[in-house]
Amino acid sequence: MTTPAEKIVREIRINPIVPSESVLVATARSMRPKKAEAPAPRDTRTHVETCPFCTGNEHMTPPVLAAYPEEKNWEIRIVENLYPVLRDDRSNPSLSFGLQQTIDGYGRHEVLIDHNQHGIAIHEMSEPHLALLFSVYRDRMEQLYRSNSRLRYVLVFKNFGPAAGASIAHTHSQVIAMPVIPDNVQAEVTNSRAFYRKHHHCIFCSLIDEALTFEATIYDRESGEIRRKINVGQYVIERVGKFIAIKPFASRYEWEVHILPLLHQSDFLRISKQDLADLARVMRRTMARLDAVLGGAQYNYFLHSLPHDVDFEDCAASYHWHIEITPRTSIPSGFELGSGLFVNTVAPEAAAEKLRAVEIP
């Protein structure tokens, strides 16, 4: 029997949630259009004298917006971004002309200092700390949505390591509240709503059900012979309490993993205290797996939750919040940028098998 790791895969996989997004999974060596250079190593120091985000240098950061548990002995701090991509001043009112339509770059851009230790990675943080971090995400999102009704989406994300575009070495996340809904969130929300209208079922819940189906056999209708045996459970990386980490069947990135609540929930703001602890655990364990397999993971992760927007008020049953983790192991090639087709050179089944095999302390 061949293991998924040995099998050569060369197929275009359609993202079940956003079908316009497809991925060329091509594991044959000759199909490898991009070559990952060894990424610049990440900064692993605990404390850096000159780092404005390190303890003792609090006076060097932009104004502090919040600190947890308190400013004096902070573990997590939120500060203004010195170079915000969006801000709430009105000094540059936008002017639209002809086809050159613009929307005010109104919004907020904040930096969340994840930890008082400079180069600590997510899998090295304690689970109570991670639970606090996720509760800070939740509370800040809620405050921002409440602060102004013109804000249509609050995006929380993290860039970790120079390969993932982190310009500040000290571990941090970012919160951007914006006057538009990002394209990819909009596509997920509208497509899952269409699926719900047709099937009366959340597509994300269906994907979880499929992932938890351990074997499916397809028989030939005429002869009754087995045509194909599929092990769908092979996409599960981790199951902790009320959460699951899945390797998407149509993964855009070689080591992409998604984390979802097992029970349906559309809005991350509704997460309970108990669930925060489970989320912290599944996150730490998944990151430890990625770090072990990649030998130091540099990644982006981002949170997709139901937008607080009148256009999507009817999507509570059809949308399902999740965290997408996208480790960076290569740079997009011209083929990918020109075609819009992602190329993934590691079969998601094989990647999942490797991630599952990691022994976690």
Interaction site with Zn ion (CB under 5 A)? 48, 51, 53-54, 118, 170, 202, 204-205, 264, 304, 320
Classify burial at 40, counting beta carbons within 10 Å of its beta carbon; exposed 0-12, middle 13-18, buried 19 or more: exposed
> Toward Zn ion, which CB reaches closer, 53 or 137?
53
> Toward Zn ion, which CB reaches closer, 27 or 298?
298
> Toward Zn ion, which CB reaches closer, 15 or 234?
15
> Toward Zn ion, which CB reaches closer, 37 or 183?
183
Q: How far is the CB of 9 from Zn ion (least distance, A)?
A: 23
Q: How far is the CB of 50 from Zn ion (least distance, A)?
A: 9
Q: How far is the CB of 202 from Zn ion (least distance, A)?
A: 3
**Mapping DSSP to helix (H, G, I), strand (E, B) and coil, where does residue 158 land?**
strand
SS in 3 state form for 191-255?
HHHHHHHHHCCCHHHHHHHHHCCCCEEEECCCCCCEEEEECHHHHEEEEECCEEEECCCCCCCCC
Q: How far is the CB of 127 from Zn ion (least distance, A)?
A: 22
The CA distance from 312 to 310, in Å, is: 5
Question: Diameter of the chain by CA atoms?
Answer: 76
3-state SS of the chain: helix, strand, coil percent to 5? Answer: 30, 25, 45
**The total number of residues written for the chain in this structure:** 361
- Give the other-Cβ count within 10 Å of 210's Cβ: 16
Q: How far is the CB of 3 from Zn ion (least distance, A)?
A: 30
The CA distance from 304 to 284, in Å, is: 19
> Toward Zn ion, which CB reaches closer, 48 or 232?
48
Using the 8-state DSSP alphabet, how is residue 63 labeled? Answer: P
The CA distance from 333 to 338, in Å, is: 8
Pick from 207, 249, 213, 209: nearest CA to 229: 213
> Toward Zn ion, which CB reaches closer, 325 or 350?
325
Pick from 193, 209, 223: nearest CA to 306: 193
Q: How far is the CB of 335 from Zn ion (least distance, A)?
A: 24
Q: How far is the CB of 72 from Zn ion (least distance, A)?
A: 18
The CA distance from 286 to 210, in Å, is: 20
Rounded (10°) angle between helices 273-294 and 127-147: 120
Q: How far is the CB of 345 from Zn ion (least distance, A)?
A: 22
> Toward Zn ion, which CB reaches closer, 106 or 204?
204
> Toward Zn ion, which CB reaches closer, 27 or 173?
173
